Amino acid sequence: MLIVETVARIRREFFVKGKSIKEIVCDLGVSRNTVRKVLRSGETAFSYERSVQLLPKLGPWAADLERLLEAMNARRPANG
């Protein structure tokens, strides 16, 4: 996720200071595609939100894990 300050700095470096994309990439540590995307668009903040959280390694055992956790919580004494 790019914050507003990073987007502003990329634009300032390119348009005001006249730095090349390669120089900006080296200075800020962002990818070349990210710098290009910022320069081509007029947005002030970029974010990526995944619609579905994938669990490739835990996926097959998610139901078993939930069942085990519920059983452990049921046996646990109530604090109160």
The pLDDT tens digits for 10-19 are 999 999 999 9
Residue 28 belongs to some domain of the structure: yes
Considering the domain boundaries, does residue 46 fall inside one? Answer: no
Number of structural domains found in the chain: 1
Beta-carbon contacts of 30 under 8 Å, excluding residues fewer than 6 positions away, are 2, 6, 10, 24
Question: Per the domain annotation, does 26 fall within a domain?
Answer: yes
Q: Is residue 22 part of a domain?
A: yes
Q: Which domain holds residue 33?
A: 4-40
3-class DSSP state of 35: helix
The answer to the question of residue 17 being in a domain is yes
pLDDT digits (tens, 9 = 90+) for 18-40: 999 999 999 999 999 999 999 99
Residue 24 lies in a domain: yes
The answer to whether position 35 is within a domain reads: yes
Judge whether 23 lies within some domain.
Answer: yes
pTM of the complete model: 0.57
Task: Assess whether pLDDT exceeds 60 at residue 74.
Answer: yes
